[in-house]
Amino acid sequence: MAGASSKLSDEELVDEARLRAVLPVLDVLGPASLLYLDPADFLSVQGGAVVEESVCGDDELAALLARAGEEDAGESGLEWITSPAFVFREGDDVVAAAGYQIWPQSVAHLSVLVAPEHRGRGLARVVASAAVAHACDAGLLPQWRARPHSSQRVALALGFQELGSQLSVRLGEPLR
């Protein structure tokens, strides 16, 4: 990476094709936008939905993660939250959830997931808003990593600002 980073511009360092030209890239995740929230800019969303703060049982979150599918569940990061889960239920089922994992430097890395059949109803904004409010009340800096455009839209609707981008790569043996 040291050699590549000295040869490539900042923009090229998050360009998969450019990286593949100079590094033995095996897998790529991203690029993703990195968004942060100044608590003074937080745009809280209630939307009339009842959100519960819960330490969900493993079965409840596991059911939501399974309904979402492996790719969306992994992208959400919901299974690694260290905060309470902020959930919206329909009947007994959790259909949307958000929370965060505390990272170094008092960063609250947000995780949000909505069951596929319930998307497009504003539930991501509602549960995420509750998790962000909790993080702000705890004196943490909310951080959002967004690959899908829909995830970026939710973050922006809550007042987050894009401050960077990220591309994760797994390297193989050096190119010869």
The total of structural domains in the chain comes to: 1
Q: What percent of the chain has pLDDT over 90?
A: 46
The pLDDT mean for the chain works out to 87
Q: Whose structure tokens read 């095996």?
A: 26
Q: Is-contact 108 135, C-beta < 8 A?
A: yes
3-state secondary structure of 98: strand
pLDDT in tens, 109-124: 999 999 999 998 999 9
3-state secondary structure of 160: coil
Assigned domain for 96 exists: yes
Length of the chain: 176
Least confident of 20-29, 88-97, 112-121, 156-165: 20-29
Assigned domain for 1 exists: no
Q: Which residues contact 141 (CB under 8 A, 6 or more apart)?
A: 36, 37, 105, 106, 107, 108, 135
Assigned domain for 15 exists: no
Assigned domain for 110 exists: yes
Assigned domain for 21 exists: no
For residue 155, the enclosing domain spans 30-165
Asked if residue 1 has pLDDT above 70, the reply is no
Mean pLDDT of 133-143: 97
3-state secondary structure of 67: helix
The domain that holds 151 is classified in CATH as 3.40.630.30
Assigned domain for 174 exists: no
pTM beyond 0.85 = no
Assigned domain for 149 exists: yes
pLDDT in tens, 25-69: 888 777 788 999 999 999 998 767 788 888 756 688 888 988 888
Assigned domain for 8 exists: no
For residues 101 and 70, which has the higher predicted lDDT (pLDDT)? Answer: 101
